[in-house]
Amino acid sequence: MQFNEKINLLMKMANTTNTKLADALGIDPSLVSRWRTGAREPSDDSRYIKLIGIYFASQAKQDFQRVAMLELTGHQMEDKNVDEPIIANYLTRWLSDESKISPKSIQILLDSIGSAGNTVQAIHEVPLPSEPSGQPVHTQSFSGIQGLRAATVKLLMHALNSPKNQTKLYLYSDESMDWIIEDPEFAKQWIFLMSANIRRGMHIEIIHTLSRDSNELAAAVQRWLPFYMTGSIVSYYYPEKRDDMFNHTSFVLEGEATAFSTSVRGQNRDTIRYIYATDPSVVSGGEETFKRQLQLCKPLVRTATGRNPRSYVDEQISLFSSASGSGVGMQGMLLSGMPPELLDRMLQRHEIPGEERKTILEQQMKRLELMHQHLERKDFQMVISLPRITDVLKGKVTAIVPELITQQPFTYLPMEYHEHLMAVIDLLERHDRLEICILPNKHMLHNVQIFAMQNSGLLVLKHRDPKFVFISEQKDLISAMIGFMRQVSSRIPKRERNKAYVLEKLRDFAKRVEEGSAMRMLP
């Protein structure tokens, strides 16, 4: 019985819908639908297999349901009084025990065993070949963690001394990253050499591996963040779990040098040998291996820096247009929902040329259209904070949308902020699927704006100089970011997340801005 047949049977037994199962697993119902049709299938070690087992075990409330599930998984009906976690374990094993080897392959194997005879020739009957001769190469060998550090320093110094400025560095390692951070002096040296090479124009491609757990993957990205902010790094990840037997490290300076090793997981670090080579055949072999690995990988993190953060708007459009799941956003300053006519007036006030204004406004209208379309189909939670009323009235509040697009400083006039806030209120009134939470300023992350869409991607914008956009479509990072933002919003008391309460608070703030602005205009 295939996985799709099994899950269909369980759903029928438990009278469960795609939506119910999807809610229990925290996924989009379309994924459940693909499981049921056989279009998709989770791997045997997927966390969803265990969660599915737990869910259906929890649905077996009646004795007849428990008996049916026990018999289905090959256990006795007399076991019906076993605890729910045990039934969940039975279901988990049953869901993942279908062999991927076809019956035909097994038949061929058995036939071969049955007909096997003594067909191996005696060794003396085969003439020995002449001993092969390979190409001699010069290499250097380094041992243990200190050896890895030494080989890495040698490679980076080779790059620094190279007559080429635009060098390329390919990095892959599924070893622990402790070798970089355990020694503070080496960490400083490593950062200095990497930074010096990046300043000379080095471009870096790095593959992260999911052999690490998700926390280690996030930590790996975090440790590389200062280099991501230069815009000189492109990163990828291999989407499948690798076996737990081998570790592999390969650092390749294109056309120049390479440092590499292979070891067995758990091997004494002092016995691992790191080979450093500059022989062209060895270096080109390392390049080809890395490029082949890259074909099996997916992008992990993309970045935009300098003037490029205006691409944040394009990425946001792409995110909304491709979104298949619910989303969350965190905005320390208002970013969503700015009316095009307000944006146009602000651009005119800053004397932005007509053609450029036209392009910007078309882009803004597209963003709003996609946001409305998304809210017709999917939930979106937006966490915002409100500035101090005195800052609004003094015209000190940054207007991120025009500032981001034009790379010029923009602040709201009091009634411009009022107009944008009223547009957000209108958005909340029009869409039942939109939830806005008002977070106290002391809990808000004021340096970043965040958007994340389940099953699609995430965007993090650092809107203060130096501006920086962090983009990823890696599912664990997306889920972790969504979980983090929902955890932040959960700090808000439940009654203060009620739509009526939020609308009243926003209207009251807008009224105070309007009245304060009117008072300032009095002679």
Please write down the HEC assignment for all residues of 479-500: HHHHHHHHHHHCCCCHHHHCHH
Could you tell me where the beta strands, DSSP code E, fall in 272-376? Answer: 273-277, 298-305, 327-331
CB contact at 8 A, 232 and 324: no
Residue 351, judged by CB atoms within 10 A of its CB (0-12, 13-18, 19+), counts as exposed
- Candidates 224, 379, 239; CA nearest to 299 is 239
| Per-10-residue mean pLDDT, the chain, length 523 | 87 90 90 90 80 91 83 70 84 73 67 61 67 87 96 96 90 88 91 93 87 60 79 83 78 96 90 95 96 89 67 67 79 84 94 90 88 88 93 93 85 95 94 92 84 85 80 83 86 90 96 90 63
| 382 to 143, 417, 429, 450, 451: CA distances (angstroms) | 52, 18, 14, 10, 9
- Nearest-5° angle of CA 488, CA 302, CA 382? 25
d(CA 471, CA 460): 7
- β-partners of residue 305 are 468
Residue 183 three-state SS: coil
Strand 298-305 to 168-173 pairing: unpaired
Q: What is the pLDDT of residue 335?
A: 76
DSSP string, 367-400: HHHHHHHHHHHS-EEEEE----HHHHHTT-SB-H
- β-partners of residue 301 are 235
Q: What is the pLDDT of residue 412?
A: 95
Token pair recorded at residue 356: 């450029």
Tokens 């390329």 found at: 168
Token pair recorded at residue 77: 């009906």
Residue 306 three-state SS: coil
d(CA 287, CA 310): 34
- β-partners of residue 470 are 303, 460
d(CA 505, CA 511): 10
Q: What is the pLDDT of residue 229?
A: 79
Token pair recorded at residue 219: 């930590």
d(CA 225, CA 199): 16
Token pair recorded at residue 372: 């409305």
Query: How many CB atoms within 10 Å of residue 225?
Result: 13
- The amino acid at residue 256 is E
Tokens 């106290």 found at: 440
- Candidates 128, 209, 203, 196; CA nearest to 167 is 203
